Structure 1
Amino acid sequence: MACLLRKIQINIHTSPHTAFFSILPQTKQPLKKAAFLFYFTFCILHSSFAQDSCGLRISLLTCAPGAELYSTFGHTAVRVSDKSTGLDEVYNYGTFEFDEDFYVKFVRGKLLYALSVESFPEFMYQYQMESRSVIEQDLSLSCAQKQELYQRLRTNALPQNRHYRYDFLFDNCTTRARDMIDTGATAPVRFKNLLPLKPLTFREHITVYLNKAHQDWSKLGIDLLLGAKMDRRSSNTEAMFLPDNLMMAFDSATVEGKPLVASKQTILAVPSLATESFFFTPVVTFSLFLLIVLALTLIKKRWAQTAVSIVDFLLFFTLGLVGVLLLFMWFGTDHKLCANNYNLLWALPTDLVAAFLVHKRSGRVQLYFKIVFWLTVLLLVLWPFLPQQMNIGFLPLVLAIALRSGIIANRKRNADKRI
């Protein structure tokens, strides 16, 4: 045994592999077999430890939607941990500063989002309080790739780098995490197609979330403010602007031919706080409004005519306000998704002035409401074919507009017949 050890010590200085195998012919067959198995196992373990000797662990956190509108679409963050040093941080691209100009910046589309860094326990406590489940995907990256990614995250978190101009579709907390991992892996991440045979539009993608959360009125507001750009079909990469879509994409993604995700587990499982739909959905509410307007129109009593006159003013005044808002969101803000809004075909900004003239019987007033009537009828005919998907909740309201504008446009003629 002493001679054997001595020979190993002499040869190992020249070549470890040559030194090891040079002693095998001098040993018996069982010992030779055991030595080979030992060496083979040692090489595998050594290679494994060498590749991940840094001890870093980087994972993608996907958080379930919450009860509030801002959290309806879920959230994405990146976790970096290292047991040997006690490091356990979460890099979160979804934070913003609430200052005195917050609402002005938000409305005008100038609100800056930022990358923040918080401890993992603090991050998880927040989502436990909001009753939002969290799924973690461990990334199967080499030690060098993890170090590179971690360094990029730290650099991006510096005060001069942490802010960015938020874009709901193309530059948000989810796309930032995806791009950081994609570029930080030093090798390109290959994503498999996750889209159906007929790809969804951006509006259809978010409708899935809104319907699941029973956010009927929120969906109405989003469909009102966001224009035809939301109705373009998304590409596979663009569909990853939503957290669940990115999580599914990571499940089948590869880096250098190997799966990107080493393991996937639910680290926080809590019941969802999503509520059931209220009975008074937009369709129900505006349908009731249409029935009331129709009834007041048909009833010839003085009180009914007085009531419908008030309804006319309130209806067209409100439509005018909505039209002015849509124009402002289109031309007065940086919200690119508010452009090309076909809701302006029924929410006319000019109604804001016409509302104060609705009781006059002048020819100009009659002509204006005749134009409104035929424009509304044309809109109803072309409803399914417009470049922008219109919310079905507005349909009873548009019918009410057609009804009252038609009545007002012919009011003078009807009065002359009674005389």
Structure 2
Amino acid sequence: MPPYLKKLLLIYSFIYSTIFIASAQDYQISLLTCDPGEELYSAFGHSAVRVLDRETGQDLVFNYGTFDFNTPFFYVKFTQRTLDYILSVTTYERFLMEYHYNERDVREQILDLNPTQSADMVRFLQINQLPENRAYRYDFFYDNCSTRIRDMMESVLGKSLKWNDDPAAEEKTYRNLIDEYVYAMPWADFGIDLALGSVIDRKASEWQKQFLPDYVEAAFATATIEGDGPTRPLVKEERTILEFADGEGDGSLFNPYLLFWLVAIVFLLITYFGYKKQRLLIGFDVTLFAVLGVLGLVIVMLWFFTFHSQTKYNWNILWAFPPHLVLVYGLLQAKPAVWVRKYLMFALIMADAAIVFWILGWQSFHPSIVPLLLVLILRTNFLYYNLDKFKKIRAGN
């Protein structure tokens, strides 16, 4: 789209929403909660705010979860957390069209606000929708489409808003909360557990759980408003807007659990065969440590070279370690240097340390890496004690 058309659309959107705000007197404010989709970016659901002008009939949805795919270096910025999300405005009808097309349930909670609170809420959204305010630096846990709505409610209603958290609610870490949504997506689940560090293994309070749309919806359902008359529930009416039959889960057998256990079985067999035939079959180890080294580079990049706070202190690096690539070089030499055996012992200790970190609860690793850790322990032991004794041949020879 040409730049001038983008500017015209922005101006039109701003004027349209401004006229709507200025002319309306009687508002109905609702929280819209949308069920998760099938893609990873939509796997956690979505929240938006509906503003219905009862006098004019204009019906808008304010959406904090949009971004521009045409942003220069989009994927680089997304990876580094330098991509801005924006508050956009669309009609209620167009908003529902997207979710109807993708067959995602949408529920509405109509809020029991007095006229002043409703007007303040709309004014808050109007100010946020100004071109100089509409962009914000997205953070999945702390600043997203759901937390923005929660924070708006607290800003507008102040101390009159009471969340009424359940004191008996189940304690969950941030990782537990994520797992609830990606359990049926095993590769996504593995990737998230690989990329995110120990910082997400701390407990999330009920308030902090509201980074997820379902938890915002649940918090709204029990919240109350006090101080402007009798205490009343924040939500006066709940209704389902769109509802579809539950889709069938992905029954694919190609998942990290099966793959990594197959890898473990292969390495168990080649270790047994190698011991019997007095061969190292070093090609398998070269492949293994090359893959783990590359994964380690990804962890280092996310830890040290992005602005994501959740990728810090990632102890997956104990087993997916970048210097494993140096070990690959050492193993490929006709006569391995002395340091190679020392490094093998170091890699063994690192793999053992990963298990200790896991047991002590310092970081929860993805369960599928168990066979990989066993392979690391097995092969580093085997190579350490037999590197100078057995024939060093590559796999397939």
Where on the TM-score scale, by shorter chain, does this alignment land: which range?
0.7 to 0.9
CA deviation after TM superposition for structure 1 residue 280, in Å: 2.8
Q: How far is 1:362 from its partner?
A: 2.3
TM-score by length of 1: 0.82
Shift of 1:396: 0.4
Does the residue aligned with 1:414 lie in a helix, a strand or coil? coil
Task: Describe the superposition over 1:124-163 as per-residue Cα deviations: whole angstroms up to 9, x where unpaired.
Answer: 0000111100000000000111011001101101100001
- Segments of structure 1 that go 5 or more residues without pairing to the other structure are 1-52
Tell me, in whole angstroms, the C-alpha distance in 2 between the residues paired with 1:382 and 1:54.
Answer: 58
User: Aligned AA for 1:373?
Assistant: L
Pick from 34, 38, 42 the counterpart of residue 63 of structure 1.
34
RMSD: 2.1
Match of 1:111 among 83, 90, 108: 83
TM-score after normalising by structure 2: 0.86
The change in CA–CA distance for 1:86 and 1:300 in structure 2 (over 3 A counts) is same
Deviations 1:50-82 (A, max 9, x none): xxx932110000000000001110000000012
What corresponds to 1:22 in structure 2? none
Between the aligned partners of 2:49 and 2:61, the Cα distance in structure 1 is 6
- The aligned counterpart of 1:401 is 376
- CA drift at 1:305: 5.3
What SS does structure 2 have at the residue aligned with 1:410? helix
Q: Note if 1:234 corresponds to 2:204.
A: yes
Q: What is the one-letter code of the residue matched to 1:310?
A: G
Residues in 1 aligned to 2:76 and 2:119: alpha-carbon distance in whole angstroms: 40
Q: 2:223 aligns with which of 253, 256, 271?
A: 253
Report whether the alignment pairs 1:163 with 2:135. Answer: yes
Tell me the secondary structure at the aligned position of residue 258 of structure 2: helix
* Pair 1:345-2:318 in alignment: yes
Amino acid at match of 1:63: C
Q: Which residue of 2 aligns with 1:18?
A: none
1:411 aligns with 2:382: no
Cα displacement (A) at 1:196: 4.4
Q: What is the rounded CA distance, in whole Å, between the counterparts of 2:248 and 2:211 in structure 1?
A: 21
Consecutive unaligned residues of structure 2, counting only runs of 5 or more, are 1-23, 392-397
Cα distance in structure 2, aligned partners of 1:319 and 1:288: 17
Kept after mapping to 1: 8 A contact 2:81/2:308: yes
- Give the letter for the 1:96 counterpart: F
Q: Per the alignment, do residues 58 and 197 of structure 1 end up closer, same or farther by CA in structure 2, a change over 3 Å counting?
A: closer
Q: How many residues in Structure 1 have an aligned counterpart in Structure 2? A: 361
Partner amino acid, structure 2, of 1:263: E
Q: For 1:335-374, list aligned pairs within 5 A.
A: 335-360=308-333, 361-374=336-349
In the other structure, the counterpart of 2:394 is none
1:271-286 alignment, distance < 5 Å: 271-273=245-247, 275-286=249-260
Per the alignment, residue 326 of structure 1 pairs with 299
Deviation at 1:187, TM superposition (A): 5.2
**Residue 109 of structure 1: how far off its partner (Å):** 1.1
Q: Find the aligned partners of 2:278 and 2:390 in 1 and give their Cα distance.
A: 17
What corresponds to 1:293 in structure 2? Answer: 267
Larger Rg: 1
Change (3 A) 1:116 1:243: same
For residues 293 and 85 of structure 2, the distance between their equivalents in structure 1, rounded to whole angstroms, comes to: 33
**Contact 2:330–2:337 (CA under 8 A) maintained in structure 1:** no
**2-structure distance, mates of 1:403, 1:178:** 50
For the pair 1:79 / 2:50, whether they are aligned, the reply is yes
Give distance in 2, aligned partners of 1:364 and 1:125. 63
Q: Residue type of the partner of 1:397?
A: L
Matched residue, 2:283: 310
> Contact conserved, 1:66 with 1:274, CA < 8 A, in 2?
no
Structure 1 position 402, deviation (Å): 1.2
